[in-house]
Amino acid sequence: MTDTPPQTRIQARNRAAILEAALEVFAARGFRGATLDRIAQAAGLSKPNLLYYFRSKEALHLAILQDLLELWLAPLRAMDPEGEPRAQIMGYVRKKLEMSRDHPRESRLFANEILQGAPRARPVLEGELKALVDEKAAVISGWSAAGRIGPVDPHHLIFSIWALTQHYADFEVQVRAIMGDTDPYPGAEAWLERVFGAILDIPHHGP
Amino acid sequence: MTDTPPQTRIQARNRAAILEAALEVFAARGFRGATLDRIAQAAGLSKPNLLYYFRSKEALHLAILQDLLELWLAPLRAMDPEGEPRAQIMGYVRKKLEMSRDHPRESRLFANEILQGAPRARPVLEGELKALVDEKAAVISGWSAAGRIGPVDPHHLIFSIWALTQHYADFEVQVRAIMGDTDPYPGAEAWLERVFGAILDIPHHGP
Amino acid sequence: MTDTPPQTRIQARNRAAILEAALEVFAARGFRGATLDRIAQAAGLSKPNLLYYFRSKEALHLAILQDLLELWLAPLRAMDPEGEPRAQIMGYVRKKLEMSRDHPRESRLFANEILQGAPRARPVLEGELKALVDEKAAVISGWSAAGRIGPVDPHHLIFSIWALTQHYADFEVQVRAIMGDTDPYPGAEAWLERVFGAILDIPHHGP
Amino acid sequence: MTDTPPQTRIQARNRAAILEAALEVFAARGFRGATLDRIAQAAGLSKPNLLYYFRSKEALHLAILQDLLELWLAPLRAMDPEGEPRAQIMGYVRKKLEMSRDHPRESRLFANEILQGAPRARPVLEGELKALVDEKAAVISGWSAAGRIGPVDPHHLIFSIWALTQHYADFEVQVRAIMGDTDPYPGAEAWLERVFGAILDIPHHGP
DNA sequence: GATGAATGAGCCTTCATTCAT
DNA sequence: TATGAATGAAGGCTCATTCAT
């Protein structure tokens, strides 16, 4: 995804260390709150050496964002128009929840970007993302029209999936503050199963 | 909410102007991304004068956060244990969605705070907020146990309400990128009605 | 000439101190070789305080350059089409030589700018300066055609005045290296009198 | 001129490429404005490889300067005390003007050095150059005293030759700004012929 | 109340130079 | 010879905060 592919061992190792460190720091503090000093230190490099690998703070952030967007869109891309509707949607929900659990920093970095008006990601949002969402929304509409799932607004359905799953990563501090030491994810998984089960249910009429 | 009550007309007006300006800037750029210069300019004051009203950037942010938390918790507080369960919950959902529409900056400021680990709000989260949520969760549990609403996990239900409603404010840029010029709120309201309707439904058994 | 006129006493004093210090440093070391640190120190201010008066190194350089260009063009502007040709031209030569003696730093700052391709002054050169030179060249041509001075190429005549007078400021180190402790200016004045006397002389034919 | 004579073909080629690139960059941007990066790139070498040929930026600049000074002094050295005075001087003028036309970068590099106080060239100026100038000035004085040319101040005469010829290289941007697309050199040559003709003329007394 | 002036600390970035290979 | 990797030092600039009035 990044344009300059690592070539030597050292390059590969350092680039990876930087990306990892930068993800950590950008996610926790936002673009402005992050300092190259802190990222360099976390990566075990000097600041100028970090800039030897990435031209600027901006470029580093962009590199992460691009990798991230690929990761982010993949599960929605994987939704199969030929598959069983309920399974496809529930699979997407489950995958997104897993990503919140396993990649919370990516989720928060993305949330930070959007929250601040998507100064860097906007083109992708209005381009690739919109196209992909429209495409999948059409698929869902088809399923709904065919009576294979209940009547849904496909766009809002997708927003709901995003909101409900990412919430556990983005608002983790709040979730933990309320749930104490309990791991929220098992409960969340069951709950979302229940929620989307209810949403997708085909309404039946009284006897 | 803030400790130093305004005294003169001018003071009141200036404090209000500062809070308004700061809300705008903090919400749009995060704590670190906001500068006192920009806030002062937006408020029509000089920087030192701004600091006459609020001792520090930190103090200003805190003042906003405190006002905000009151506003934020009010609708949940208003949920009446004696009321009709479905109406109470749906009312809360509706109120929260209104707040996203009418106070998106507050929502984003709050999201920023949580996203960055709630460095300033954590005490409130673990204190007042947790207590309030636990209290209301107990109420909801009671309703559920009494069969007046379907079986729900009350904590996750509350998280879901937050996630689904705040999403329209916090991820507004993304929502707009996908929905184009369409105002998302009318659709969102209908959709959430549908979603929480399905969730709260009391499952009925076949004939 | 500079856009933000000083208002208070302190501002006036500090702006003047900065311009003076910057002239010194820019002239001696060029734009890139000059550091804000050094200028600030020479002006008796802290670096951020210097930047309180001038937004950037660039802006400071520009302010000096603009003042300077006014100073630079004035003597040529003063050449009077109605005056006695020889007196007008010799007066210009004398004035320019005085300026080299009394404002060598300005001369060197200007030379630096031109030498590096006039990245900042080019518009003025191609605009005001060219217009002024063309205007005065026409006047000189008129004098020459009228037989009031010898035949001259007016543009090259003007270049020669610039070259011969500014040389004593711009190449001062070289002049001093060769002339030792002797002040070059008295000799220069006499010499230029002699040179331009010869140039402007109306050629006469043998008896 | 440089102390380490090239040995292999590759070495010779690389040294030449570096000197050529460095001349270009130093002349255009001054010592401080030039970067080894840019020079290395222009020479088609890596930066460390460049530093293999020249120990430091300083050393590289010095090497160029030394080569340059040789080139610079040669025409004056060539002025023949036994030759015909007028032809010798006019020849020198013509040669210097040719050098401005054919080696403007060398001229500008030298001008930069002098302008900044000759931090590196001063010894040469005060040593070789002064000696050479004094020697030739004596010759000219002799010619003048012998009535073979008009009365001249030999030092200022030499300064004038330098100033008038180098001006077309050093202030090229300004000359071009004023003369537009016209090539200034043909005119300059005729003009300088005229100027020095007038200067060297032996004054004659009225009938 | 209000503001012009000032600054210490910090940030991103550049650059000549060195090291290891 | 040549280069990828690394860095100390410095430079321009920003910003929250303080001081004096």
pTM of the model: 0.92
Q: Which two tokens stand for residue A192?
A: 């979302």
Tell me what the pLDDT averaged over chain D comes to.
94
Determine the protein residue whose CA lies at the shortest distance from the C1' of E19: D48
Q: Are D17 and D44 in contact (CB under 8 A)?
A: yes
User: Residue D103 has what pLDDT?
Assistant: 97
CB contact under 8 A, A114 and B207: no
Place C207 in a pLDDT band, splitting at 50, 70 and 90: low
- pLDDT surpassing 70 at residue C5: no
CA dihedral D147, D150, D151, D153 (to 10 degrees): -120
How far A74 CA lies from chain B's nearest CA (Å)? 17
Which residues on A lie below 8 Å from B97 (Cβ)? none
Residue C143 burial (10 A CB sphere; 0-12, 13-18, 19+) = buried
- pLDDT surpassing 70 at residue A101: yes
- Residue D124: HSE in the Cβ half-sphere, 13 Å Cα cutoff: 17
CB contact under 8 A, D30 and C33: yes
**Those residues with Cβ within 8 angstroms of residue B84's Cβ, 6 or more apart along the chain or in another chain:** none
In the stretch 152-171 of chain B, residues with CB closer than 8 A to chain A read 152-153, 155-157, 159-160, 162-164, 166-168, 170-171
CA dihedral A29, A33, A36, A39 (to 10 degrees): -10
pLDDT in tens, C142-197: 999 999 999 999 999 999 999 999 999 999 999 999 999 999 999 999 999 999 99
Cβ-based neighbour number of residue D13 at 10 Å: 11
- pLDDT exceeding 90 applies to what percent of chain A? 92
Place D1 in a pLDDT band, splitting at 50, 70 and 90: very low
At B180 the three-state DSSP class reads coil
Q: How large is the average pLDDT for residues B146-156?
A: 97
Substitution target from B32, B178, B204 for chain A, most A beta carbons within 10 A:
B178
Residue C82 burial (10 A CB sphere; 0-12, 13-18, 19+) = exposed
C116 touches chain D (CB under 8 A): yes
Give whole-number Cα distances, D174 to A5, B45, C31, C63, D48, in Å. 47, 47, 18, 20, 37
Q: Are A16 and A9 in contact (CB under 8 A)?
A: no
Residue B191 burial (10 A CB sphere; 0-12, 13-18, 19+) = buried
- For chain A, which chains pass the contact test of at least 3 CB pairs under 8 Å? B
Q: Is the dihedral of CA A85, A86, A87, A91 positive or negative?
A: positive
User: Residue B92 has what pLDDT?
Assistant: 98
C27 CA – E4 C1', rounded, Å: 31
Q: Are A98 and B12 in contact (CB under 8 A)?
A: no
Give whole-number Cα distances, D87 to C152, D82, D91, D193, D203, in Å. 22, 11, 6, 11, 18
pLDDT in tens, C104-156: 999 999 999 999 999 999 999 999 999 999 999 999 999 999 999 999 999 99
pLDDT in tens, D107-164: 999 999 999 999 999 999 999 999 999 999 999 999 999 999 999 999 999 999 999 9
A54: which nucleotide lies closest, measuring CA to C1'? Answer: E13
User: Residue B203 has what pLDDT?
Assistant: 80
Q: Which nucleotides of E are covered by protein (CB under 7 A)?
A: 1-20
Give whole-number Cα distances, A15 to A20, A51, A68, B11, in Å. 9, 11, 15, 53
Q: How many angstroms separate the CA atoms of B114 and A173, rounded?
A: 6
- pLDDT surpassing 80 at residue D3: no
User: Residue A178 has what pLDDT?
Assistant: 98
**Closest residue, chain B, to A25 (C-alpha):** B116
Q: How large is the average pLDDT for residues D70-99?
A: 97
**Closest residue, chain B, to A28 (C-alpha):** B116
The single-letter DSSP state of residue A71 is H
User: Residue A1 has what pLDDT?
Assistant: 41
Q: How many angstroms separate the CA atoms of D39 and D47, rounded?
A: 8
pLDDT in tens, C38-69: 999 999 999 999 999 999 999 999 999 999 99
- pLDDT surpassing 80 at residue D207: no
Q: How many angstroms separate the CA atoms of D188 and D182, rounded?
A: 11
Any idea which residue has 């034919």 for tokens?
C205
Q: Are A154 and A96 in contact (CB under 8 A)?
A: no
Place D2 in a pLDDT band, splitting at 50, 70 and 90: very low
Any idea which residue has 């709000």 for tokens?
B121
Q: How many angstroms separate the CA atoms of D155 and D75, rounded?
A: 16
pLDDT in tens, B158-188: 999 999 999 999 999 999 999 999 999 999 9
Place D11 in a pLDDT band, splitting at 50, 70 and 90: confident
Which residues on D lie below 8 Å from C126 (Cβ)? 177
User: Residue A2 has what pLDDT?
Assistant: 42
Q: Which helix (H) or strand (E) segment is B114 a member of?
A: helix B104-115
CA triple B80-B72-B30, angle to 5 deg: 165
Cα R_g (chain B), whole angstroms: 20
Give whole-number Cα distances, B13 to A113, A190, B2, B10, B45, in Å. 33, 50, 15, 5, 12
CB contact under 8 A, D32 and C28: no
Q: How large is the average pLDDT for residues A68-89?
A: 97
- pLDDT surpassing 90 at residue A9: no
Q: Closest CB to C126: pick one of D156, D177, D195.
A: D177
Q: How many angstroms separate the CA atoms of B56 and B53, rounded?
A: 9
Place B8 in a pLDDT band, splitting at 50, 70 and 90: confident
* Identity of residue D102: D
pLDDT in tens, A33-42: 999 999 999 9
The single-letter DSSP state of residue C119 is T
Domains of chain B (ranges plus CATH)? 1-55 (1.10.10.60), 65-200 (1.10.357.10)
Q: How many angstroms separate the CA atoms of A196 and A189, rounded?
A: 11
pLDDT in tens, A120-149: 999 999 999 999 999 999 999 999 999 999
Q: How many angstroms separate the CA atoms of D150 and D120, rounded?
A: 37
CB contact under 8 A, B125 and A163: no
Substitution target from D159, D160, D168, D205 for chain C, most C beta carbons within 10 A:
D159
pLDDT in tens, D168-204: 999 999 999 999 999 999 999 999 999 999 999 998 7
